[in-house]
Chains A and B, each alone.
Chain A
Amino acid sequence: MLDVEPLILDELKRLSPYEPELAGDWQTVLARAGAIRPDRRLPRKHALWVAAAVLVLLIAVAAPALGLGPPFLDFFSAKHAPKRVVHQFAIMGVGAPRGMNPHVIPGQTRLVTTYHLRNGKRMPLWVAPTRGGGFCYVLGGGGCVARHARISDRNGDLNMSQLDVARFSNRGLRTIEGSVANEQTAKLELRFADGRQVTLPLLWVSPPINRGFYLYQLTDAERQPSHRPTEIVALDQKGQVLARVRSIFRLPPSWSNPNRVSNRADRHVILRSGPLSIAIAPSRTGGNCSWLQYRGKTIGSGCAPPRFQTEPMEGGFSHGKGFTGFDAQLKPNVTRVVLHFQDGTRLTLQPVDGHVLYNIPKTHWPRQHRLVEADAYDANGHKVASQKFDPHQIGLYDCKKTIAIGAGQRACP
């Protein structure tokens, strides 16, 4: 008689492998069950503090720290989001490239707080946990933060991964908002070019979020260059710096705007491929500015000096209704670029003034025929750069029939 037991065991292991290294988060389970409060050192009159904290969060005035510790919110006691907000979170990551899906849990979206701006506008902060232990948020705009974000410190920054600073910009920098990860943070300071500093009120939120949130609305004076913010600093009880972010406050270089550093009269087309073209003009800061155009209309432009290109080839896709193109900027030593498609087709492009451009034809839009790799070669035939592309990236190629991609969204496969 056929012994199926070993076959079943073997097949089941393949279907759902055993992963002994998997470990859940017991503290999160406890918090969700309401079994214990997370371990936070709070004075007893917590309820009164929460009420005081609501007032503190009125950001018409930079409120000083209460001196008794920041306010705390038990995440699972916060109000559930309405359906339209849940849907906003549900579509985060839908269609995202591989590895970029935050895996948000939209059904757990909750209202953490509502900020009151000076113009009377209210800005609710909606937050939802992600499966990886991070969170996503919506506050005007929104985003997601990984549990262990790997962010390299740039010039002047310290432990940037622990201090998330996003900017909400509406015709210039108006509010600064973000969160801190380090629970040792006793004080968060915003420092200005004129030497002033203000303490930013923090609202700590329990696991699974485990972050302290802040928002500061700049005054008109603080938006002037001589009074603008220069850094945000997280300090512990002893005043030691735990984290610091400066880089985000540096003024953007003027050369990043091609129209400012080049003359329109000097702009000329150097490459065409189907409806796509690339035009360049000399930049006053060195090198060329370039414009990627679709039927003569600019869809992308750039103007960094040559020293800012660190890779021999920096390529990518542009796409819209009825077209998908590949273009790349190349260092002078690159003499050809070879494109590889899934069906074995190869195509060689010759750079012109440091650019290549290819309008991908419809024959290469369907799966199994897509562009998967671009290789750059020098004059000696050595491969100096290679870029790989995910042929499963949805929404990159136009199609006749969209498919459902989750959360009620549709896109081209």
Chain B
Amino acid sequence: MKDPDRRLSELEALYRERFPHFVQVACAIVGDRDRAMEVVQEAFVGAIRGRDRFRGEGPLEAWVWRAVVNAARDAVRRPLVEAGSEPDAVYQVPEPVRRLAPLIAALPERQRLAVFLRYYADLDYRTIGDALEIEVGTVSATLATAHATLRKKLRKVEADA
């Protein structure tokens, strides 16, 4: 097992290099930038506290991505207490309906997360698999299914338009 302090340095490097990507994915899940930054902080706090438990079976980054995704999912499930989050919903100026946004939002959770990790974080299939705790083959199938669903629904939207 690696020296915990060395692991701490690796986590710090990851935090500093990939912070905007972590926030981008977390924001796509929780829907709010400030909340996403808090989620990423929480994920790293948990990663630091539990760094002794990381066994090195996959890349450290995948392990951290799992923490970020889980923290973001938990944040969505938690009742909203922080001031200011609902007022943002009140203030939101309606934007033009985008073709793809509702279709992505309607994907099952695993497909949606796989899409976020693939396109926002540009992760390879192995890392996505580690983050979502699924096999590499399942990542490939999940993304293929997501693409097929979006393609089919997009064609339907265009046909109905």
Can you identify 27 A-B contacts, CB atoms within 8 angstroms? Answer: A2-B155, A4-B147, A7-B100, A7-B154, A8-B115, A8-B150, A12-B116, A15-B28, A15-B101, A19-B24, A24-B15, A24-B44, A25-B41, A26-B16, A28-B41, A29-B41, A29-B48, A33-B44, A91-B83, A95-B87, A101-B84, A103-B84, A106-B81, A394-B90, A404-B86, A407-B82, A407-B86
Contact of A9 among B48, B83, B101, B119 (CB under 8 A): B119
The residues of A that contact B24 with a CB separation of less than 8 Å are: 16-19
Whether B119 pairs with A8 at a CB distance below 8 angstroms is yes
Whether A16 pairs with B28 at a CB distance below 8 angstroms is yes
B34 within 8 A of A: yes
The residues of B that contact A94 with a CB separation of less than 8 Å are: 83-84, 86-87
Whether B19 pairs with A12 at a CB distance below 8 angstroms is no
C-alpha gap A14/B80 in the complex (Å)? 25
The residues of B that contact A19 with a CB separation of less than 8 Å are: 20, 23-24
Whether A394 pairs with B87 at a CB distance below 8 angstroms is yes
A289 within 8 A of B: no
From known contacts A16-B120, A22-B20, infer whether A106 and B15 are also in contact, taking CB-CB under 8 Å.
Answer: no
Q: How far is the CB of A355 from chain B (nearest CB, A)?
A: 32
The residues of B that contact A26 with a CB separation of less than 8 Å are: 12, 15-16
Contact of A405 among B25, B34, B86, B99 (CB under 8 A): B86
Whether B38 pairs with A105 at a CB distance below 8 angstroms is yes
The residues of B that contact A101 with a CB separation of less than 8 Å are: 83-84, 87
The residues of A that contact B8 with a CB separation of less than 8 Å are: 35
Number of A-B pairs whose CB atoms are under 8 Å?
A: 141
B-facing mask of A115-138, CB < 8 A → 1, else 0?
000000000000000010000000
B136 within 8 A of A: no
Q: How far is the CB of B29 from chain A (nearest CB, A)?
A: 9
C-alpha gap A55/B16 in the complex (Å)? 42
Cβ-closest 3 pairs across A and B: A406-B86, A33-B48, A11-B100
* CB interface residues, A 1-60, toward B, < 8 Å: 1-2, 4-5, 7-9, 11-12, 14-26, 28-30, 32-35
Chain B: CB-nearest residue to A35: B48
Contact of B37 among A5, A24, A98, A403 (CB under 8 A): A24
- Which B residues are within 8 Å of any A CB, using their own CB? 8, 12, 15-16, 19-21, 23-25, 27-28, 34, 37-38, 40-41, 44-45, 48-49, 80-87, 90-91, 98-101, 104, 115-116, 119-120, 147, 150-151, 154-155
C-alpha gap A8/B115 in the complex (Å)? 9
The residues of B that contact A92 with a CB separation of less than 8 Å are: 83
C-alpha gap A106/B81 in the complex (Å)? 8
C-alpha gap A2/B16 in the complex (Å)? 38
Whether A11 pairs with B85 at a CB distance below 8 angstroms is no
A330 within 8 A of B: no
C-alpha gap A145/B90 in the complex (Å)? 25
C-alpha gap A1/B27 in the complex (Å)? 31
Whether B38 pairs with A131 at a CB distance below 8 angstroms is yes
A111 within 8 A of B: no
Contact of B154 among A4, A86, A392, A394 (CB under 8 A): A4
* CB interface residues, A 61-115, toward B, < 8 Å: 86, 89-96, 98, 101-107
Q: How far is the CB of A5 from chain B (nearest CB, A)?
A: 7
A258 within 8 A of B: no
C-alpha gap A340/B154 in the complex (Å)? 42
Whether A4 pairs with B20 at a CB distance below 8 angstroms is no
The residues of A that contact B104 with a CB separation of less than 8 Å are: 8, 11-12, 15
Whether B101 pairs with A11 at a CB distance below 8 angstroms is yes
A413 within 8 A of B: yes
